[in-house]
Amino acid sequence: MALLILPESEVLEVGPSGLESEVPPDPGMDLATLEVTSRRHEIAAADAAVEAASANVRLTRAARLPDVTATGGYKRQSDGFRGAFLGVAIPISLFNRSAGAVAGAEARVGAMETRLKLTRRQIDNDLRRAVETYESLKRRSDLLGDEELDASSDLLQIAQVAYDLGEMELLELLDAAGALRGARSADAQVKADLWTAYYNLERAMGGFDIAAEPSTTVPEIR
């Protein structure tokens, strides 16, 4: 804590304790060229639905084919004639009752393909928003950096010295401490938002590669 030692030896806290400096690791990829990935479970589920519907069409079409029955054997007639015989039975459908089933199965394939396209579009929009948010916060974090914190800390140290020498009022010292507190609070908020955006980006992508996984725990914001 940045401390102000009062003449009466009382201790007054005028600044927060130091913050962790960890930021999320580099995702290890060009975010500008990211595309929808099949690692998203929504894409995998929609793909599976299309495959299942296509398989059902093939099965329904196969059911339309007539079952050919072949028979054969050796037969003795009542008039004394004997001989082998062979017969083939092919059912003839007077009404094509399976045409509707095939049409329905094909329509379901079309519906599942449309659903897959919509899912890809939604995920693409989700991914773009996640990338934009992460990059925006990353730039903001880079701009803040440690320079502003160092400048505010130096200002407070100078103010403490000036106050001890009687060259500065208590109110001015507290203003310097408030500036440091505000800088640290802003830095902590940006880092917290950046971690949130990082994991939201990981979710939108369906997961990072192993190399991009963070090796440290999320810093505690105090």
Give the pLDDT confidence of 70-107 residue by residue, as tens digits: 666 666 666 666 666 566 665 555 555 677 788 888 89
Side-chain half-sphere CA neighbours of 218 within 13 A = 12
Task: Decide if 218 is inside a domain.
Answer: no
pLDDT at site 147? 61
Whether 54 is covered by a domain: the verdict is yes
Residue 115 lies in a domain: yes
Distance of CA 143 to the CA centre of its chain: 26
Average pLDDT, the chain: 72
How do the pLDDT tens digits run along the chain, 222 residues long? 344 444 444 444 444 444 344 778 777 666 656 666 667 888 889 999 999 999 988 888 877 666 566 666 666 666 666 666 566 665 555 555 677 788 888 899 999 999 999 999 999 899 889 989 999 998 888 877 666 666 666 666 666 776 666 667 777 767 777 777 777 777 788 888 999 999 999 888 888 765 455 554 444 444
Provide the pLDDT for residue 103: 87
Residue 94 resides in a domain: yes
Closest CA to 116 of 46, 54, 53, 49: 46
In a domain, 219, yes or no: no
Q: Domain of residue 109: give its range.
A: 3-212
The predicted pLDDT at position 65 comes to: 62
User: For residue 169, how many other CB atoms are within 10 A of its CB?
Assistant: 11
Report yes or no on 86 lying in a domain: yes
Q: Which residues share a beta bridge with 123? A: none
Total domains present in the chain: 1
Query: How distant is the alpha carbon of residue 130 from its chain centre?
Result: 8
* pLDDT value at residue 16: 44
Measured CA to CA, the distance from residue 180 to residue 185 in angstroms comes to 8
Q: Are 67 and 92 in contact (CB under 8 A)?
A: no
Residue in 38, 34, 1 with CA at minimum distance from that of residue 17: 1
Q: Is 220 part of any domain? A: no
- Cα(218)–Cα(186) distance, integer angstroms: 17
Adjacent-strand bridge partners of 90: none
What CA–CA distance (Å, rounded) separates 66 from 70? 13
pTM of this structure: 0.56
Residue 222 domain flag = no
User: Is the sign of the CA dihedral 149, 152, 155, 157 positive or negative?
Assistant: negative
